[in-house]
Amino acid sequence: MIDKEVFSKWFTILSERFRQSFSGPTIAVYYEFLGPKLSTEQFEAVARYLFGGDGSSLPSPPEIVSLARTLVPDPALPEAPLPKLYCEMTPAEQANYRQVIDCFRAMLVEVDPKFAKFGAEIIKAAVEGGQA
């Protein structure tokens, strides 16, 4: 989320740089659009880049977001933990797991009845492998 003071400072600078004046409501909408999509660091980087560039007009909000993410990529998400093996689950977790599998199987059959056989083969293999 972009810090409002930083946004206000740089948006004013960019408005002057590109000789464009924006009303208060328009500036607020820019912030509503850009604020949640970019970090303060990303916004400052793109603002500095635009200020020093040779463009004649302020890019559109989606272009600003794209450019900012190119200049300062979003940090990678932390690696997701591996799920538990079925044999490591508590009886309650195993029951929940089976409910999810049953629900998934029912959804597949609704899409195409031939998936019923395919689903049954998967369940059989899981049971034989100690995973269901």
Q: Containing domain of residue 116, as a range? A: 86-128
Separation of alpha carbons 98 and 113, rounded Å: 20
Looking at 28, 45, 71, the residue that finishes a domain is: 71
Q: Is 42 within a domain? A: yes
**Model pLDDT for residues 24-63, shown as the tens digit of each residue:** 999 999 999 999 999 999 999 999 999 999 989 999 999 9
Whether residues 16 and 53 share a domain: the answer is yes
Q: Is 78 within a domain? A: no
User: Which pLDDT value is given to residue 132?
Assistant: 55
Which residue, 14, 56, 63, is CA-closest to 38?
63
Total of domains in the chain: 2
Q: Is 43 within a domain? A: yes
Q: Is 77 within a domain? A: no
Q: Is 23 within a domain? A: yes
